Structure 1
Amino acid sequence: MDLFSSHDDNKAVDSLVINGEFMQTGYPAHVHEDGKGVVIEIPDGRLYYAPHYFTESQSDGYLQTLLACDGINPDCHDWHNEDSINTLPFRYIRWQQDQVTMFGKTHNLPRLSAWYGDDDKPYTYSGITLQPKPWNDPLIALREALLPICKRGFNSVLLNWYRSGNDHISWHTDAEPELGPNPLIASINFGESRRFLLRRKEDHKIKLEIPLHHGSVLVMAGALQHHWQHSVPKQAKVKGNRINLTFRNIKG
């Protein structure tokens, strides 16, 4: 399957590497052998970044599938004021509104989520334990699309739905014990472009920003999760939906 569709796309990938560095950041980079993305070498980690790994038509199709809900147009619906997310008739993904308790108060997370994977692989983060829902055809197809890059399968995927630029995720690492040492995390993005930020845990002045577009893929590898935090900040001007899927392996 040809996921990358045109000569112009190849030019766009080539332009990400300038004098052997990723977008003049000082971090060594080179075009991956697949021609679809670049490899970025950062201290204690490695990134693969393809700004348009999937074609626009494929990306449109996946976005519609992941948000499909009987009787609702996802592009027009006011999802932020929807009180029944957990009971709506979504066709493929059982989206839910998770909550966290801090300082004695319970708050909705500023995004919606879903956890899919092998039936014996629950996942706990920020005090929330997610029980996996079974794999379906769209998620299996996306998992298989990552095989040429990652050279491995995944037993779980966390989906986050950012309903607008007001939805976000704060600084964190994906270093939970059940992910094992030096986990490989593969991220697929559909919908609105959003900023993805990385910073060194021991020196927050050391940062890297990568724009995640409709159909992009970002893979984080090596010891990155132990030395770098990442976030998706608020962007008030962004009005549309963005879906992020992070494929991972739960150990044990």
Structure 2
Amino acid sequence: MKLSNMLSFPIESYCEGDLLYWPGFYLQQQANEFYNTCVEQLEWRQEQIKMFGKLVTIPRLQAWYGDEYAEYKYSGLPLTPLPWNKTLLTIKEHCQQQLQTRFNSVLANYYRDNNDSMGWHSDNEKQLGFQPTIASVSFGQERKFCLKHKYSSEKINLTLQSGSLLVMQGDLQQNWQHALPKSAKPLQGRVNLTFRHIINN
């Protein structure tokens, strides 16, 4: 595995929060292999979540994997972890070594084309702790990743490359939202793995 030089985007205008980005965390050949393996082997589902009191089908496929006790819930959707497979464990170990932190779960998202997306939100559920570290690995099609400050509306846009690692930590989830918008341009598939540590007392 080849590691690139880290690009760091500290967010200091209105709050503390860290956004770190390695555009070449994996070589392209390895990224392509991980993409194909994830598409073929993960148990993808199209879930429904609550928005404004109504059930809405999310515009992407997803899967939740992790340790046996890593139960998670967001937007009214309870997630029971599937057992880790070899590929996810390998990628998790790479992220843990790079960041010197431990993850016990991963939310996998499969954006099949330009019509699949993720709306504005923060990963600030109590199960993630007060200042969670979330490691986001991308494979496949490049996509625009957007952040917006909750109080000032300051925005940051990044293009997440295949094989990249994006890390959100510190106070970022308390003060910022993030999204992956649809695109008017036709796009190929993208797999995103967001590694987390669930705290269940």
Specify the TM-score bucket, using the shorter chain as the normaliser. over 0.9
Aligned match of 1:148 in 97, 100, 110?
Answer: 97
Q: 2:17 aligns with which of 35, 38, 45?
A: 45
Question: Runs of 5+ in structure 1 lacking a partner?
Answer: 5-34, 69-91
What are the within-5 Å matches in structure 2 for residues 173-212 of structure 1?
Answer: 173-204=122-153, 206-212=154-160
Q: Secondary structure at the match of 2:31?
A: helix
CA contact (8 A) 2:44 2:61 kept: yes
* 1:75-90 pair list within 5 angstroms: none
Deviation at 1:103, TM superposition (A): 5.9
CA contact (8 A) 2:25 2:163 kept: yes
Rg (Cα) greater in structure: 1
My pick for the range that moved more, 221-230 or 236-245, is 236-245
**Residues 72-151 of structure 1: matches in 2 within 5 Å?**
92-102=41-51, 105-151=54-100
For 2:44 and 2:107, the matched residues in 1 are separated by 11
Alignment correspondent of 2:189: 241
In the alignment, what sits opposite 1:58?
30
Structure 2 partner of 1:20? none
- How many angstroms apart in 2 are the aligned matches of 1:186 and 1:104? 30
Question: What 5-or-longer segments of structure 2 have no aligned partner?
Answer: none
Q: What amino acid is aligned across from residue 251 of structure 1 in structure 2?
A: I
Letter in 2 for 1:167: D
User: Displacement, 1:52?
Assistant: 1.7
Q: Give the letter aligned to residue 6 of structure 2.
A: G
Give distance in 2, aligned partners of 1:144 and 1:105.
38
Runs of 4+ in 1 over 2 A off after TM superposition: 100-107
The count of corresponding residues between Structure 1 and Structure 2 is 197
**1:39 Cα deviation after fit:** 1.8
- Identity value in percent: 42
Deviations 1:141-195 (A, max 9, x none): 0001112321012000000111111111111000000001100000000010000
3-state SS in 2 of match to 1:144? helix
2:201 counterpart of 1:250: no
Aligned to 2:93, what secondary structure does the other structure show?
helix
Partner SS for 1:146: helix
Larger deviation: 57-66 or 102-111? 102-111
- TM-score norm. by structure 1 comes to 0.75
Equivalent in the alignment of 2:121? 172
Q: Structure 2 length as normaliser, TM-score?
A: 0.93
User: Which amino acid in structure 2 is aligned with residue 3 of structure 1?
Assistant: K
SS in 1 for 2:119: strand
